[in-house]
A and B are shown apart, each in its own frame.
Chain A
Amino acid sequence: MASAHSEAPEPPRISTLGVDGMRVSFGSTLSEAANRAALSFRAAIEAEGLMGVEETATSLTSAYLRLDLDHADHDSLRAKIETLLGSRDWYAAPLPQGRKLWRVPAVFGTDLAPQLEEAAKLAGLSPDAAITALCAAPLRVQTIGFAPGQPYLGELPREWDIPRQTGLTAHVPEGAVAVAIRQMVLFSVSTPTGWRHVGQTALRLFNPDKPDPFILRPGDEVQFQPVTREEFENIRTRDADGGAVSERLG
């Protein structure tokens, strides 16, 4: 997935997060390279198995490390992070292994996703052209967060740099696809949101009853496949996985 951004990446910055956390930030604005760096760096930290690191996660452009203060101190951990940061160019590092490409049926517009026209207008496109654009290429799961299993997908072409609404939509349903700031969010729970609701899937992204309750991982890719309202209703009634199919991405 090529990014339209071309500015030189910011050097990584280490800061503390709370009393027992550290954050390694690869950029204060979203870019493909900064997201790639965050994903790769977190995978490397996990592989190192550093003493005192209890848990790691990524956000759009940064990695987060939660420490066990009984077995770690900030100074020695910071030194190890600096060593690892200096060991390679994280902005050009390969993405972690084991990623998947998901093809996910979605209905765009209709009363199921009532803000397609509004969002298309903001992007300067007709509703049909908007659907084509939103489904044109796989989008990377840049991060999973806010709610369980919920992906932020990107990066969309520049015309999709549309703002969030100033007001909140009281709720969008589980499986809703919403757009803003060159990203799409696929909602794992019914929630209020300021993002515009343009599509609807029958995906259940988080199912706590399953042994592995999460469908997507950071670094996976998702390509939406537009379906009609009728096809969508069929998928919703007959397919527990919302019609999603996956293949390995090397």
Chain B
Amino acid sequence: MAEIILHRTGPGVTLQDMGRKGYLAQGLSRGGAADILALAEGAALLQQDADLAAIEIAGSFVSLEVTAPARIALTGAPMRALCDGAALAWHASHALPAGAQLELSGSAGGYSYVHFGGGIEGDDMLGSRSAHLAAGIGQMLEGGGKFPIGADRGSRVGMTFAPLPRFDGGVLRLVETPQTHLFGQDVLERFTATPFSKDARGNRMGQRLVSEGAGFETAAGLTILSESIVPGDIQVTGDGAPFVLLSECQTTGGYPRIGTVLPCDLPRLVQARAGAELRFCFIPLDEAVALERAEAKRRAGLRSAAYPMIRDPHDMADLLAYQLISGVTRGDDLERSAS
């Protein structure tokens, strides 16, 4: 069985999949990849199931090799990727020869993912291979670690796709929470008019946001009873700064919540670079539900959105191995498929 050998890892490198469902009542949140979309993208590039585990790198570095030829895909926050010194394209799939050294470094922030054809087969605990550090499940990966790779049913590499833009901030859409009204109309208006950026203290549990000017605390909210909370909820703690809960958040909380970020917009929060501007806007629930359903459909169709990378023929030592004729189009395919 092929294995991954981790040579060096920085902090914040973990094994992640879609997380654990079904344990909320016992105080264990779902956890899983900080950027679920990046997992789906890697699975689409490798044409495999989206619930296989991948390596998540939180603004850090990794060097590794595999003991047998493997396919990899690189998604999420772009990093500098070198295979035995040669640059690899991000948002793409590649062949990784046995013994070749894969070096990943130089992220501008956010979460990056390395996927393997067949997935990584770390220890399954309660139905998931995800480390949930806040719950004491699993741990950060360290140099010297080894993981088996599952049987790879695919063979295609050199695929790429256009990732959903999510690395430069933008507007995050919110739905109301049972406590939104506690903040008062003037505070809500100021909240949605304020540009925020990420505080350096973010982690997989949550991301604090900072802004110029006054905070957004509400006196009415300081006495509310603890109750169920969900990823995307924006708690306003005593200092008035919004704190957005993420995949490893606790399951209950007593701070007032000003709004809940749509799950389909969370990747734009977790992947926003330091200094990127984030804003909030409330939308009605029915619109949010429609957006979630549309995004789930788009994610499910990512496989067909992957296409071969265009490479410079001078760089292609294996040029003759390519079938260069099929794929010629009539020239108006896009117009026809759009109509």
Contacts and interface: CB of A to CB of B under 8 A. Distances in A.
Interface string A138-180: 0000011111111010000000000000000000000000000
Interface in B193-245: 224-228, 230, 232-233
Given A25-B227, A62-B227, A62-B228, A145 B27 contact: yes
A149 B27 contact: yes
Interface string B30-45: 0000000000000000
B25 A218 contact: yes
B289 A214 contact: no
Nearest to B228: A64
Contacts of A73: 289
Contacts of A42: 25
A217 B126 CA distance: 17
A57 B175 contact: no
Contact of A29 (B27, B178, B225): B225
A144 B250 CA distance: 11
B296 A69 contact: yes
Contacts of B263: 18-20
Contact of A23 (B23, B178, B289): B178
A57 B230 CA distance: 12
B24 A66 contact: yes
A58 interface: yes
B136 A208 contact: yes
Contact of A19 (B22, B250, B288): B288
Contact of A148 (B136, B177, B230, B288): B136
Residue from B25, B175, B226 with most neighbouring chain A CB atoms (10 Å): B25
Contact of A55 (B22, B125, B134, B260): B22
B123 to A, nearest CB: 10
Contact of A146 (B27, B136, B289): B27
B225 A189 contact: no
Contacts of B296: 69-70
A151 to B, nearest CB: 9
A218 B23 CA distance: 13
A16 B285 contact: yes
Contacts of B293: 69-70
A64 B135 CA distance: 21
Contact of A18 (B134, B135, B225, B260): B260
A129 interface: no
B175 A21 contact: no
A209 B175 CA distance: 38
A143 B26 contact: no
B292 interface: yes
A17 interface: yes
B251 A206 contact: no
Interface of A: 15-21, 23, 25, 27-30, 42, 54-62, 64, 66, 69-70, 73-74, 143-150, 152, 188-189, 206, 208-209, 213-214, 217-218
5 contacts: A19-B260, A25-B178, A69-B293, A188-B27, A189-B134
